[in-house]
Structure 1
Amino acid sequence: MNLSTIQTPGVYIQELNAFPNSVVGVATAIPAFIGYTPQAAYEGKSYTNVPVKITSFADFQAFFCLPDPPAPASPSKQYSPEYYLVAEKSQPLKGDYMLIAGTYYSIVPDPNTVYYLYNSVRLFYENGGGDAYIVSVGSYGPPSQKAGTPGIPVVNPNVQLNDLTKGLSLLLNEQEPTMYICPEATLLSVEDNGTLMQSMLLQATQMQTAMCLFDIIGGDAPDPILYTEDISNFRMNTGSVGLNYGMAYYPFIGTTIMQTSDIDYTNLFGGDLKQLEAVLNPPSAPNPAAASIIANIQSPSSTLTVTQNHNALLIASQTYSLMIKHILADANILPPSGAMAGVITTVDNAVGPWEAPANTSFVGVSSLPISLSESQQANLNVDAVSGKSINAIRTFNGLGILIWGSRTLDGNSQDWRYIPVRRTMIFLEQSCKLAAQAYVFQPNDKNTWEAVISMISSFLSSIWKQGGLQGASASEAFSVACGLGSTMTADDILNGFMNVTVKVAVVHPAEFIVLTFQQQMATSS
């Protein structure tokens, strides 16, 4: 109570806080997805190139999905890749194929119609995701109406580096996201993908609030022997800045996210029913039932929906049923970054960011395009030349598909080579920094310094008790210093700076990583 403000006799009440300020831990698992969506509008307002925070897949649908037409019409397709069957002279050596009436057909997508963000967000929520940011950089571009080259990694010319880097830069104003994810980065050329990854790492280094989840070009259809070239290209193109803020997973994952109802005859041959009929009803093996259904689709005599016609074709033609099965298998091979974000969210909610998101399985993942052995994984974990580590996703007999690695790209660093260490430090840094802002208008004196030390020490003690810091005692796990002669000089105080030094043992007891932050206190203008 300020006695100088008392001007008349009477009873005055002074309320004292029973407890000092405390540090509230920041959220640790909030991914920001950057890419292309079916649309980006809500209540008549465009949300293209606007970071939108969502809390559920229903929120994502409201902002970024096409509305369904009224019944009995079939629901809108939010993602509709187009596929072609390309006749080959002999059995293809690369890519998926089918043998129909003695002819080999390669199953190849139209590259312009392949996108990953929609299904990656679905995988995120299927694996336990919660809050997330979506930055839609545009809607889907026009199809090329022709097949890509069999066995060649898909490059979608509608996916532009400038679009994705612009979406990334919008996150400079958002402090909350803790993961940057561009599922469609692998649809860029190798050079553009490298530029984007370096931009993501640079921004993460500047922000110090988020890590980058990377997918690797070629991980969707790796060659059993030459897959190492894809790994080398990735390592060559990630640069050398901010590697401890990046993590990569290999290979892609075969999911069950898309079902039979998501692919139908409108996804085949660009919707050209004549080409479809030539495959389903060839002269060498006629199928009148399939021909009749296709004729009815071309000249409808009844109001059958696309779904009804699709189901009729599935019954009438085994070839059509196998085509849909093969195309679904190809469309369901997705980058693992979205699913990994969901796994990280689940692990954080159950334990904390200091728990490695490894030795656990995915939800909705049924296969892998390549089965890595222990020796192959060793080459991913440690690279003598670049030092960049890549986390493997592997199949184990009796256990299924497991995430088998938790390393950052900075594999040679003793401090930062593990993902939990980097993520725990981001969590501690941001939590302490935000809590210290409560003292920005307090006098820069011993009382304030002691309050800050007490507040941060109490917070770190609770983290240590939860297992987030290493050590048999609190003194082995952390220390906090703030004061004249220890972290500040007389000049610092005169200039209005309060310096706080925090030492935490994240990897080994009594082996501290030092965190120092400086706060500008209120000064007279």
Structure 2
Amino acid sequence: MAGAYKTPGVYIVEKNAFPNSVVEVATAVPAFVGYTKFADNKGSSLKNKPWRITSLSEFESYFGKEPKDQFKIVENTDKNLAGDFKSGGKSYILKRPNEKKDTERFYLYRSMQLFFQNGGGPCYIVSVGNYTKTEEDGSIKDETILRKALEDGIDLLLKEQEPTMVVIPDAQALDFDNCIGVQQYSLKHCYNQKNRFAILDVYDGYKERKDPKGDCVTNFRGDLGINYLNYSAAYYPWLNTSIVQTTDLEFSSFVDVTEVKNLLLAEAGGADAPKELADILNQVGDAKRDQTLKTYLSDDELHKILYSVSPTYKNILLAIKNKLNILPPAAAMAGVYTMVDNSRGVWKAPANVSLASVVSPTVNISHDEQEDLNVSTAGKSINAIRSFIGEGTLVWGARTLDGNSLDWRYINVRRTMIMIEESLRLATKAYVFEPNVSGTWINIKSMASNFLTSIWKRGGLAGASPEDAFSVHVGLGETMTPEDILEGYLRVTILVALSRPAEFIEITFQQQMQKS
């Protein structure tokens, strides 16, 4: 300033010509909460610690691979229930140990495989426990999936700024009430944070809606409540995937291998079975193997031989593979969100996209059956996953759970607004405690306008010109009163025209008179 000069001379004064720029926040960074084989980083525990990874190999390095899924073989005596496989004219069912329900399993690892297969990238993992636990007597038992552990894992994300989605596959292993409780907790978390979106699975969504035990979609809608619905989306049905291969299975897949032995002996003709095959089968489940005898085969060798010579053994493994390949779709959708965001932008609806490593949805949904899913009087829209001839399995819905809201009906609208709000919030922090005068107002207005113009140029905002797409308002008499300035408030109002998907395309045909 002139008053500060004392000595005659030439003084250089530099003035900033441009406002601060806005850095667009990431939109596709999901956080997965669940159980893992272990949680370790070179001796340092990662349990209950959000950890960023970028690939499946990193996940396996820090958290291990798949759990040990086991089944027992039970004869099917219910004529109304389809068995998992047949042998000797009888039908059999594969059941979980201790009468656990089919869906009581650890889903996280398989879900991570599905996530990366469908375009997934950087994400956060919150491991809330291991697959097994050591008792006081030294015995090792399966860990129990707990609602509180999953909710505590969600709370750990409160201090993380980067995650933009929340996915909790292991919630499906809980009973219905506790699963809904975890999902409600995740909705509240996303609403409070205002910078993330929950992707939900419909409980028991592998079942038909006309299942005798109840309509899974109606139950989900009825118990989820009405709060914070615009910060989430749900998908139905579950998926038949190709994640688990037969080569991933072995004798450890059976709770009692003698059950398998008896079935295979019966298949081979019982007491009349060829001696060579009988000798092989007698090694199955033999707890008194003489390790000094060279005639005994390893479990892996037995597995390969029986798989090649026994149709029943092959059918059993195929049934196990099919059960393990039934997975909830939320993780696959997190991958789809990531892929669409990276290729088209967060403003593109994550729909009309095929799913990778998916054979089919567990339930085939027709055009008419989707009507109630997409548009409901209760307003809770459920996005359908459908199979189309010649096109594969496609995501055929793009609505949030708040389906009746004209503001937040569409997923891409909600997520685009989250991105714009968070980006401008972080950029505007630079002006906290700056003088609340016109110079500051102009800088903020220019900064926001430049950012929104870049979004509009890429197709994120609707309008033929920037003036049609957005407007930024700030200033005394426009957004603030003199009292606001006295109390330290600087108010900015931004109007944006967000692009909405063409959900219903109508083509009208009409005959016209012959002209020649």
Q: Which one of 261, 264, 273 corresponds to residue 257 of structure 2?
A: 273
- Looking at structure 2, the residues matched to 107 and 290 of structure 1 have their Cα atoms a distance apart, in angstroms, of 25
Q: Which one of 327, 340, 345 corresponds to residue 347 of structure 1?
A: 340
Residues 1:242 and 2:228 are matched in the alignment: yes
Q: Deviations over 1:447-505 (max 9, x none)?
A: 11111111111111111111111112222211111111111222222222221111111
Residues 1:285 and 2:269 are matched in the alignment: yes
Q: 2:92: which partner in 1?
A: 105
Gaps of 5+ in 2: 135-141, 502-516
Which amino acid is the alignment partner of residue 89 of structure 1?
Answer: T
In the TM superposition, 1:498-513 aligns within 5 A as 498-507=490-499
Q: 2:66: which partner in 1?
A: 78
Shift of 1:17: 4.0
Range with bigger deviation, 407-416 or 470-479: 470-479
Q: Deviations over 1:166-220 (max 9, x none)?
A: 1111111112111111101121111111211111111111111111111011212
Shift of 1:306: 4.1
Q: 2:138: which partner in 1?
A: none
Residues 1:253 and 2:239 are matched in the alignment: yes
In the TM superposition, 1:379-398 aligns within 5 A as 379-384=372-377, 386-398=378-390
Which amino acid is the alignment partner of residue 348 of structure 1?
Answer: D
Q: Which one of 175, 180, 187 corresponds to residue 189 of structure 1?
A: 175
Range with bigger deviation, 291-300 or 435-444: 291-300
Q: Deviations over 1:209-234 (max 9, x none)?
A: 11111101121233655587111110
The CA RMSD over aligned residues, in Å, is 2.4
In the TM superposition, 1:289-304 aligns within 5 A as 289=276, 291-296=278-283, 298=286, 299=289, 300=291, 301=293
**Other structure's SS at 1:388 match:** coil
Q: Which one of 413, 420, 423 corresponds to residue 421 of structure 1?
A: 413
- Looking at structure 1, the residues matched to 266 and 133 of structure 2 have their Cα atoms a distance apart, in angstroms, of 31
Range with bigger deviation, 399-408 or 78-87: 78-87
Q: 2:61: which partner in 1?
A: 62
In the TM superposition, 1:1-80 aligns within 5 A as 2=1, 12-17=11-16, 19-65=18-64, 78-80=66-68
In the TM superposition, 1:121-160 aligns within 5 A as 121-141=112-132, 158-160=144-146
User: Residues 7 and 85 of structure 1: is their aligned pair in 2 closer, same or farther, counting only changes over 3 Å?
Assistant: farther
User: Residues 290 and 464 of structure 1: is their aligned pair in 2 closer, same or farther, counting only changes over 3 Å?
Assistant: farther
- Looking at structure 2, the residues matched to 472 and 227 of structure 1 have their Cα atoms a distance apart, in angstroms, of 53
**Other structure's SS at 1:498 match:** coil
**Other structure's SS at 1:281 match:** helix
**Other structure's SS at 1:453 match:** helix
User: Residues 415 and 283 of structure 1: is their aligned pair in 2 closer, same or farther, counting only changes over 3 Å?
Assistant: closer
Which amino acid is the alignment partner of residue 131 of structure 2?
Answer: Y
**Other structure's SS at 1:36 match:** strand
Q: Which one of 426, 432, 436 corresponds to residue 440 of structure 1?
A: 432
User: Residues 89 and 13 of structure 1: is their aligned pair in 2 closer, same or farther, counting only changes over 3 Å?
Assistant: same
Q: 2:77: which partner in 1?
A: 89
Q: 2:324: which partner in 1?
A: 331
- Looking at structure 2, the residues matched to 295 and 131 of structure 1 have their Cα atoms a distance apart, in angstroms, of 49
Q: Percent identity?
A: 43
Q: Deviations over 1:9-57 (max 9, x none)?
A: 6665444445431111100011110111111111111111111111222
Shift of 1:8: 5.8
Range with bigger deviation, 417-426 or 55-64: 55-64
Contact 1:98–1:106 (8 Å) recurs in 2: yes
- Looking at structure 2, the residues matched to 502 and 177 of structure 1 have their Cα atoms a distance apart, in angstroms, of 25
- Looking at structure 1, the residues matched to 249 and 11 of structure 2 have their Cα atoms a distance apart, in angstroms, of 75
User: Residues 159 and 3 of structure 1: is their aligned pair in 2 closer, same or farther, counting only changes over 3 Å?
Assistant: farther
Contact 1:245–1:408 (8 Å) recurs in 2: yes
Q: Deviations over 1:268-319 (max 9, x none)?
A: 1x1x222221111128733555543344464254596543332122113111
**Other structure's SS at 1:28 match:** coil
**Other structure's SS at 2:266 match:** coil
Q: 2:137: which partner in 1?
A: none
- Looking at structure 1, the residues matched to 364 and 495 of structure 2 have their Cα atoms a distance apart, in angstroms, of 42
Contact 2:87–2:267 (8 Å) recurs in 1: no
Q: Bigger radius of gyration, 1 or 2? A: 2
In the TM superposition, 1:145-184 aligns within 5 A as 158-184=144-170
- Looking at structure 1, the residues matched to 121 and 258 of structure 2 have their Cα atoms a distance apart, in angstroms, of 45
Which amino acid is the alignment partner of residue 316 of structure 2?
Answer: M
Contact 1:91–1:104 (8 Å) recurs in 2: no
Q: 2:202: which partner in 1?
A: 216
Shift of 1:251: 0.5
Shift of 1:387: 1.2
Range with bigger deviation, 429-438 or 302-311: 302-311
- Looking at structure 1, the residues matched to 338 and 494 of structure 2 have their Cα atoms a distance apart, in angstroms, of 26
- Looking at structure 2, the residues matched to 199 and 291 of structure 1 have their Cα atoms a distance apart, in angstroms, of 56
**Other structure's SS at 1:398 match:** coil
Q: Which runs of 4+ in 1 moved over 6 A?
A: none
Range with bigger deviation, 355-364 or 84-93: 84-93
- Looking at structure 2, the residues matched to 454 and 375 of structure 1 have their Cα atoms a distance apart, in angstroms, of 50
TM-score of the two chains, using structure 2 as the length reference = 0.88
- Looking at structure 1, the residues matched to 202 and 346 of structure 2 have their Cα atoms a distance apart, in angstroms, of 24
Q: 1:153: which partner in 2?
A: none
- Looking at structure 2, the residues matched to 401 and 310 of structure 1 have their Cα atoms a distance apart, in angstroms, of 33
Which amino acid is the alignment partner of residue 419 of structure 2?
Answer: F
Contact 1:22–1:455 (8 Å) recurs in 2: yes
- Looking at structure 2, the residues matched to 103 and 138 of structure 1 have their Cα atoms a distance apart, in angstroms, of 40
User: Residues 290 and 402 of structure 1: is their aligned pair in 2 closer, same or farther, counting only changes over 3 Å?
Assistant: farther
Q: 1:473: which partner in 2?
A: 465
Aligned residues: 481
Q: Which one of 396, 404, 413 corresponds to residue 412 of structure 1?
A: 404
- Looking at structure 2, the residues matched to 448 and 42 of structure 1 have their Cα atoms a distance apart, in angstroms, of 46
Shift of 1:88: 2.1
Contact 1:214–1:249 (8 Å) recurs in 2: yes
**Other structure's SS at 2:472 match:** strand
Contact 1:195–1:237 (8 Å) recurs in 2: no
**Other structure's SS at 1:506 match:** coil
- Looking at structure 1, the residues matched to 114 and 474 of structure 2 have their Cα atoms a distance apart, in angstroms, of 45
